[in-house]
Amino acid sequence: MLKTFTSKFAAAALVLLLVGCGTNPVTHKRELQLVSESEEISIGQKNYMPARQQQGGDYIIDPELTTYVQSVGKKLAAVSDRQLPYEFVVLNNSVPNAWAMPGGKIAFNRGLLYELNSEAELAAVLGHEIVHAAARHGAQSMETGMLLQGAVMATGIAAQDNRYSELIVGSAQLSSQLIATKYGRDDESEADLYGMHYMKKADYDPRAAVTLQETFVRLSKDRNSSFIEGLFASHPPSQERVAANKATLAQLGEGGVWGREIYAQKVAKLKATRPAYQDYDEGVQALAKGDTNKAETLAKKAIAIEPREARFQELLGDIAVKQNHNEAALGYYKRAIEMQPDYFRPYVQTGVVLNNLGRKAEAEPYLKRSNELLPTATSYYVLGQIAEDRGDVRGAMQQFGIAAGSETETGKAAIARYQRLEIASNPAKYLQAAAQADNMGYVYAVVYNPTEVTLANVHVIVVHFNATTRQPDNQSVSLLVAANLPPGKRGQLKLPGIQVYKPEDLKLYRVLVERAELAK
Ligand SMILES: [Zn+2]
């Protein structure tokens, strides 16, 4: 299968070189295939859902629209060079963007659908993304280790309006890297070129790929365009791309379906509710700036236009949390969950609010459910607190350990909590203990606390070793050295009746930390 694909690409590339386009889309990288096709498919399958979750979730209000986008995607996938378990979804995200994951998992933002004017333009974007998946561009990034450059990727994700990426923990972190992949110029040219071939084969007019690029060039001159953080972040439009697409068009020939009317009809409902989503997006920003009144006005305006949208209820919940109206917030989140049960965030929020209200047992299932949908540091952290309150130290450490994978304030707090618990569960590893003698030769058990944590009820056992055999021959009962031992302090206990007269004798006593607790 792969061979056919490569040779087809090679043949077409040769034609392209002959017409003098100057690009060489066949990449020799393809020979080095470290990620197998089945691994690639499994990576796509595992990461598709967390990636969609962190990009706003699926747009479920208009299932007919999703079916339509899927039908166009399927037509193009059917003529692609590599058969993959292709899937297409519309995301509830206003940023004009689209992405493909290894294994053929493709997502199209609501925000990009507003900007297109025909089915052929939709096909141009989908065809381009299908090539990225079919030609293994993402999988190659993984092989060359590009995805491991976490810091670089994190900036890329931030630019993609991903509010939650930093909070994602565990294996789902890969999903945010996969959708933030920036392909190289060669990959982009290849996706443009073969995307147009697919359009032609599926009976769409490939000229739509030229007009679309021209529109993008025009839009890219507007620095305030939301495209800047969306599609253009990974696909900077340029006159060169327009020229390359024109050359491809000359080769393929114009003609084919445009589907302007069907497109207009299918996106009519979406476009009619666009103002609601503009109000919502502004409302989210207003709330981030602390303007709850403005946020509330905007959320209510949005709901008046589109009462079925779960995100609008969630925004009302967030506003209520900010105003300390916790009971009201729970009501809004409940409604958001009823409207869209498969989106993680209202579950996180419900769990956090319930925990703050002291309703820990109720909070737990919400936090667990949210982690199934998208594992976040927030949920793991709160689950850790709940486990700790219950006295489940091991469980709490496990939760804090996962939350610690996030480079956020929550992640840092989780590290601190984890360390506290670890110190308490294994104080001997952290506290320094020794036998010391005063100038009269009286022996003391001394414990020093070098950690950042105040410990309580620090107990030791003093062991005596035989001077000749060097084996322990006597040991004390458990002795309380310090009821309270703050960071950087030492505690000591005089061992009754024990006196030494030379330094060698002191060396026969060893002080072992037996147990300690976290100070309340
Ligand atoms: Zn691309």
Q: For residue range 232-252, list pLDDT tens digits in order.
A: 777 778 889 999 999 999 999
Q: How far is the CA of 187 from the centre of ligand 1 (A)?
A: 7
d(CA 512, CA 411): 33
Q: How far is the CA of 40 from the centre of ligand 1 (A)?
A: 18
Q: Which pLDDT score is estimated for 171?
A: 79
Q: Which pLDDT score is estimated for 180?
A: 74
d(CA 96, CA 160): 10
- pTM score > 0.85 for this model? no
d(CA 280, CA 93): 11
Q: Which pLDDT score is estimated for 387?
A: 97
On whether the CB atoms of residues 13 and 26 are closer than 8 A, the answer is: yes
Residue with structure tokens 């068009």?
249
Q: How far is the CA of 277 from the centre of ligand 1 (A)?
A: 26
Q: How far is the CA of 478 from the centre of ligand 1 (A)?
A: 68
Q: How far is the CA of 116 from the centre of ligand 1 (A)?
A: 17
Q: Which pLDDT score is estimated for 145?
A: 57
d(CA 295, CA 291): 6
Q: How far is the CA of 463 from the centre of ligand 1 (A)?
A: 69
Q: Which pLDDT score is estimated for 138?
A: 79
On whether the CB atoms of residues 192 and 126 are closer than 8 A, the answer is: no
8-state DSSP, 458:
E
φ, ψ (nearest 5 deg) of residue 282? -65, -40
Across the beta sheet with 105-109, the strand order is 87-91, 105-109, 98-101
d(CA 197, CA 492): 81
Q: Angle, to 10 degrees, between the axis of helix 345-356 and the axis of helix 310-322?
A: 30
Q: How far is the CA of 138 from the centre of ligand 1 (A)?
A: 10
Q: Which pLDDT score is estimated for 161?
A: 44
Q: How far is the CA of 172 from the centre of ligand 1 (A)?
A: 23
3-class SS of residue 516: strand
End-to-end CA distance of the chain: 64
Q: How far is the CA of 104 from the centre of ligand 1 (A)?
A: 14
Instruction: Give the β-pairing of 98-101 and 490-499.
Output: unpaired
pLDDT < 70 regions, the chain: 1-33, 143-164, 223-225, 228
Q: How far is the CA of 339 from the centre of ligand 1 (A)?
A: 33
Q: How far is the CA of 218 from the centre of ligand 1 (A)?
A: 18
Q: How far is the CA of 258 from the centre of ligand 1 (A)?
A: 22
Q: How far is the CA of 245 from the centre of ligand 1 (A)?
A: 14
Q: How far is the CA of 130 from the centre of ligand 1 (A)?
A: 9
Q: Which pLDDT score is estimated for 163?
A: 59
Q: How far is the CA of 132 from the centre of ligand 1 (A)?
A: 7
Torsion of CA 11, 12, 16, 22, to 10 degrees: -80
